[in-house]
Structure 1
Amino acid sequence: MARLSDDCFAHDGGGLQSLDAALADLLSRLEPVVDSESLPLGACLGRALAEPVLARLDVPPANNAAMDGYAVRYADLSQGAPTRLTLLGRAAAGRPYTGPVPAGHAVRIFTGAPMPAGLDTVLMQEDCRLEGGQVWLPAGIAKGANCRLAGEDIAAGRQALAIGRRLGPAELALVAACGHGSLRVYKPLRVALLSTGDEVHEAGASLPLGGIYDANRPMLAGLLRRLGCAVTDLGIQPDRPEALRSTLAEAASGHDAVISSGGVSAGEEDHVKAAITALGSLHLWRLAIKPGRPVALGRIASAAYFGLPGNPAAAALTFAFFARPLLARLAGYALPLLQGFAVQADFHFEKKPGRREWLRASLYPGPDGGWLARKYPLDGAAVIGSLTGSDGVLDLAQDQTGIRPGDRLLFYPREMLGF
């Protein structure tokens, strides 16, 4: 298990930096900070592999039938006319035929049954005709048809899954087939989550004049849990320096990361910044993105600190595109790169060059069979409805300027971003 270095989040404090460059820089410095444990397969869903998984046997372990029919030796078949073979026995999954099969004979076989020794082809039962103890087989079948070969899925000794792979239902099926009843996985990243500010209040409480409800904390908690993190909700912390410093110090001592939203932006002197600086280190990353340009990264004792924008849409987007891959690296996950797909714009939009911009949008079918993207009417960083009222996010390149109907844009569905 690695520990955060003192300068892992250091920033030169220069001008705006591209998101891709910032991520590449940061990810090159980070390693998993969580311990690993061995768990039975049934308890591994959603965890990240702490070591590669190698196949303990061939999958499938033997040549077997891909469907119900008749197993034959291809050399016994006539190429230009139907073939008549003598039926010798039957093979079923879990009950193989183990005897010899002389030339001119066939074996009745069922899906999943191991192929009898010397036989290499299966003909579907619907294409064959049984007469007494003999079976008529049609001409024209290819050698090896309807037969699954031993190890064709994965060969014994080969790597089935790499370290860092998140274990979903399909991954669990593969490692079970490879003979593993338990796996070594990373423990969940322990994340403390808090909101700050005297104006912020718990949803459902009486709201005083000038107050706002805390929308970010439940949203970020959900995003973190979808990433597999173990979240501790520290609630809303008031703007009191000593109390805030004490809360952050206690959170850092029992967690791998601490996340807050709002209150930390370039040039602002507030209690959050002062408390984090007193307890560890703080670096402001000015990213060439909209929304969410200022993002704070730092260290509180041995815990990583993430300070996200206070506006909810900006907090969600910077989490998805920036904080999520960094947290995943700390948690041991090897997250795949985001895979967007091309759509066509059906709107006009003016954009300044020099920053990557994310627009919330919904899709509908276009006349040519592709997808058209319709921008959500409001694109402000505080508009929560732009997240719930859209299908996903349009990713506008840093050097892109105006958007016109028909322009091709990159689109990321909400589910891919964790929303």
Structure 2
Amino acid sequence: MISYAEALERLLLAAKPIEDTETIPLLYSTNRVLAHDVVSPISVPGWDNSQMDGYAVHTVDLADGKLGPVRLAVSERITAGSVGTKLERGTVARIFTGAPLPEGADAVVPQEDVEVNEDGVLFTKPVKPGAWVRRKGSDVEAGSTVLEAGARLTPGAIGMLASIGRAYVTVRRRIRVGIFFSGDELVQPGEPLPPGGIYNSNRFTMRSLLMMLGCEVIDLGSIPDSLDATVRAFEKAADAADVILSTGGMSVGEEDHIKPAVERLGKLDLWRVNLKPGKPLAYGEVCGVPFIGLPGNPVSGFVVFLMMARPFLLRRMGLTNVDLKALEIRADFDWKAGSREEFLRVRRNDAGGLDLYPTQNSQVLSSCAWADGLADIPGGASVKRGDLVRYYPFCEFFA
């Protein structure tokens, strides 16, 4: 068997970003992948401006505050969106948050720090130059690269692009993923369940995972256990998809047709990965289209998708950073791992530790619904209550 790290490295080396791009409105670009670097044409902010509602001042006029209070008259009023005139010495400007600092002023005094009456504004202490002033370009300098190609357009990134005036953005085309599911026993939810039948939970799990990644899903549904039907499904998926995924049918039994179908249409590597759940994994090409075959057991397919298919798909989308960052969290359980690296279904508890779902069988899908993440336990390791373990929260897989 090969290690999980080696299998992932192989997949990522094979994952070539799609080249197609499109230019879309920034308003509708959430979670898309940036195709080109973005250079700002302007500085943000575009001028020195006030951080507070208060008074713009010449700090030299307040130097006497070291000895006693200074009272100054208000010569103008500057609101956000307006521009004041040059501030005369011996006067102050009433100014509001975001308003440009008038020429000559070099600081702002918050309104909470002064006393105001009909005779003017009373200042009781000196003020340092630059106080409560946002300098021009302190956020973004004109000509600087604000986002690099391969970045995901998160709400923060989109807000940044809007702040420099971008209305449109060039992104990678959405990746198209063709999926199908092998097994005569699979029944669509909502239909009567015959003897020996099981509902096709993998179809719903995989579609949901792909949609959360932002993929365009080409769903071919359940495929009968025959070589001809499997070949036709592959051919149909290859005509429209950038990547093909399947679950089940990867063993070498008489009713497992994935391997011969792929070999008829392309090439296949069958990997035995030192991973639990999810030892069997297939990778290859069908009519020139990359193919990943996931285990048929629901939990195995779920875990292998998250830990292996997900980074492959993200790299094909053009994302530069596909690494997961694990947290070190206290285990509130005991566990002895077997020879394989294990990903246990766990959940954070109110005490800040991790609870373990009582049944870790690869067919128990309720463990995935209950859990909020995976604990990564190296092969052969013993975990005692109170030990720190590597924890991958589910929310990080789609951040």
The equivalent residue for 2:381 is 401
Distance 1:105 1:89 in 2: 9
The equivalent residue for 2:28 is 43
Change (3 A) 1:382 1:141: farther
Q: CA deviation at 1:336?
A: 4.6
Does structure 2 conserve the Cα–Cα contact (< 8 Å) formed by 1:345 and 1:372?
Answer: yes
Does structure 2 conserve the Cα–Cα contact (< 8 Å) formed by 1:34 and 1:256?
Answer: no
TM-score (norm 2): 0.94
The equivalent residue for 1:217 is 203
Q: 2:216 aligns with which of 230, 235, 238?
A: 230
Change (3 A) 1:327 1:118: same
Q: What letter is aligned with 1:124?
A: P
TM-score (norm 1): 0.90
The equivalent residue for 1:10 is none
- Give the 5 Å matches for 1:325-344: 325-344=311-330
Q: RMSD of the alignment, in Å?
A: 1.8
Q: SS at 2:354's partner residue?
A: strand
Q: CA deviation at 1:23?
A: 2.4
Q: CA deviation at 1:313?
A: 1.1
Distance 2:206 2:91 in 1: 66
Structure 2 residue 341 is the aligned partner of structure 1 residue 360: no
Distance 1:108 1:167 in 2: 39
Q: SS at 2:335's partner residue?
A: coil
The equivalent residue for 1:347 is 333
Q: CA deviation at 1:335?
A: 4.0
Q: What letter is aligned with 2:377?
A: L
Deviations 1:374-401 (A, max 9, x none): 1100001111010111221111134x51
Change (3 A) 1:410 1:121: same
Q: SS at 2:271's partner residue?
A: strand
Deviations 1:211-238 (A, max 9, x none): 1111111100010011110001111110
Structure 2 residue 187 is the aligned partner of structure 1 residue 187: no
The 10-residue stretch of structure 1 (70-79 or 166-175) with the greater mean CA deviation from structure 2:
70-79
Deviations 1:325-361 (A, max 9, x none): 10111111234522222211121111124x3211111
Deviations 1:89-138 (A, max 9, x none): 011111110x2223222111001101111222111112112233521123
Distance 2:19 2:229 in 1: 28
The 10-residue stretch of structure 1 (322-331 or 17-26) with the greater mean CA deviation from structure 2:
17-26
The equivalent residue for 2:52 is 67
Does structure 2 conserve the Cα–Cα contact (< 8 Å) formed by 1:34 and 1:330?
Answer: no
Q: What letter is aligned with 1:44?
A: S
Q: 2:75 aligns with which of 85, 88, 93?
A: 88
- Give the 5 Å matches for 1:100-115: 100-115=86-101
Structure 2 residue 363 is the aligned partner of structure 1 residue 382: yes
Distance 2:246 2:371 in 1: 25
Q: CA deviation at 1:318?
A: 0.8
Change (3 A) 1:25 1:305: closer
The equivalent residue for 2:17 is 32
Distance 2:385 2:49 in 1: 54
Distance 1:115 1:176 in 2: 23
Q: CA deviation at 1:142?
A: 3.7
Q: Which runs of 5+ in 2 are unaligned?
A: none
Deviations 1:120-168 (A, max 9, x none): 2111112112233521123154432221111111211111111111112
Q: 1:127 aligns with which of 113, 125, 128?
A: 113
Q: Name the % identity.
A: 36
Does structure 2 conserve the Cα–Cα contact (< 8 Å) formed by 1:128 and 1:135?
Answer: yes
Q: What letter is aligned with 1:411?
A: Y
Structure 2 residue 281 is the aligned partner of structure 1 residue 295: yes
Q: SS at 2:363's partner residue?
A: coil
Q: What letter is aligned with 1:342?
A: E
Distance 1:340 1:237 in 2: 37
Q: What letter is aligned with 2:245?
A: I
Q: SS at 2:386's partner residue?
A: coil
Q: Which runs of 5+ in 1 are unaligned?
A: 1-15
Aligned residues: 396
Q: SS at 2:349's partner residue?
A: strand
Distance 2:233 2:345 in 1: 35
Deviations 1:24-53 (A, max 9, x none): 343234321251011111121121101111
Q: 1:260 aligns with which of 232, 246, 252?
A: 246
Q: What letter is aligned with 1:405?
A: R
Distance 1:277 1:348 in 2: 44
Change (3 A) 1:359 1:142: farther
